[in-house]
Structure 1
């Protein structure tokens, strides 16, 4: 992808809309929509790296209630011709066609490679990557299994959504308190994962979410790991202008 002169690639992650309640998250949602309104004027593309929602499950004919402002703004931007790319996170694993069919937004379930102006990127949400976290990795295999999704769909949506949202809010990853503890450059497991991938192939930037902590770690002279932070505490996002990548904080109310 060639970035036109004056345009930029934007990145954001981990909004967790709906947590701890729909009402409590609405100011954050409005702030995110204001950000989308601002960046659409010079965006060549927008990458959303997962956990936009604190819980999302698509039944065959039912989608979760709420998030109208966000979905409407994404539809508007997509319809205007600006590409939006979405990577599922650990809270919205169960996407199954709605974004593609209704919003024209491609959805990715694993990290993907992109090249912008000859600069290479590996992009993903970040959950289940790198060393450790074996308990979550086993749990994820269950959650994404066709049998589990089939079983969950047989429950009434009101009951299923209520149970799932309750369990999701109880997870401390939502607040970011557990994630937002810097482990050191050598121990940050997504940085460890990125260094391992560098042994296979060079990428200029590794961009992930999930950690809820804004991070920039130089992996070697030519490669950098970026974590985007979140829209719960930090309101940080990434910008690539064709040459340089930087993290910024959205300040507007």
Structure 2
């Protein structure tokens, strides 16, 4: 993608709308919608890197109730011709066509490479990558197993969604509440993942979410790891202007 003059690419992640309750997250949703409304004026594209919702599950004819303002704004932006790309996170693993069919937003389940103005990016949510995190990796295999998803869909949505929302908040393997402290580069598994990738191929920028920490780390003289933070505590987002990538805070 070649970015037109005066345009930018925007990145955001980890809104966790609905947590700890829909009422409590409503002010954060309005703030996020205001940000979308602001960036649409010079956006060449918008990347949402997962965990937009604290829980998301698509039954054949049902989706979780709420988030009308978010859906409306995403639909408006997509309909205007600005491409939006979505990467599933660990809280919204069970996306199954709704974003593509209703919002014309492509959904990715794994990190993907992009090139903008000759700058190469690896973009994804970031969960389950790199060394360690074995408990979550085992849990993810269960949650993404087709048989497990088939069983869950047999629950009535009122029961299934309520149970999943409870686990999403209470289960530390899912919520990651204890992870939001910087561990040092040698202990940050996403940093290690990026460095291993660079052993085989040059990439200019690695952009991830999941850690709930805004991070901008030089991996070497030519490559950076950017973590987008979240929209719970930091309200941070990424901006690429065609040459440089930076983190900003929305106030």
Same fold (TM over 0.5): yes
Q: 1:183-202 residue pairs with structure 2 within 5 A?
A: 183-202=183-202
Q: How many residues align?
A: 251
Secondary structure class of the residue paired with 2:233: coil
Report the more deviating stretch, 235-244 or 176-185.
176-185
- Show CA shifts across 1:122-169 (max 9, x none): 000000000001111011011001001100000100000000001111
Deviation at 1:245?
0.4
C-alpha separation in 1, matches of 2:177 and 2:74 = 29
Query: Does the Cα contact within 8 Å between 2:120 and 2:205 map onto a contact in 1?
Result: yes
Q: 1:173 deviation in Å?
A: 7.3
Misfit runs of 4+, over 4 Å: 172-177
1:179 deviation in Å?
Answer: 2.3
Q: Please name the residue that 1:162 is paired with.
A: 162
Q: Give 5+ residue unaligned stretches, structure 2.
A: none
1:96-245 to structure 2, matched below 5 A, reads 96-172=96-172, 177-245=177-245
Q: What displacement does 1:248 show?
A: 0.2
Contact 1:10 1:43 in 2 (8 A): yes
TM normalised by structure 1 equals 0.97
- 2 CA distance for matches of 1:72 and 1:212? 26
Partner-residue secondary structure (3-state), 1:167: helix
- In the alignment, structure 1 segments of 5+ residues that lack a partner are none
Superposition deviation, residue 101 in structure 1: 0.2
C-alpha change, 1:74 and 1:237, in structure 2 (3 Å) is: same
CA shift, 1:103, in A, is 0.1
SS of aligned partner of 1:178: helix
Shift of 1:172: 4.5
Cα displacement (A) at 1:171: 3.3
Q: Pick closer, same or farther for the CA change 1:191–1:118 going to 2, 3 Å.
A: same
CA distance in 2, matches of 1:154, 1:204: 45
Instruction: Give the Cα–Cα distance (whole angstroms) in 2 for the partners of residues 43 and 128 of structure 1.
Output: 30
Contact 1:19 1:174 in 2 (8 A): no
8 A Cα contact 2:235 2:250, kept in partner: yes
- TM-score, normalisation: structure 2: 0.98
Q: Note the C-alpha offset of 1:176.
A: 6.4
Find the aligned partners of 1:196 and 1:206 in 2 and give their Cα distance: 12
CA RMSD for the aligned pairs?
Answer: 1.1
* Match status 1:15 vs 2:15: yes
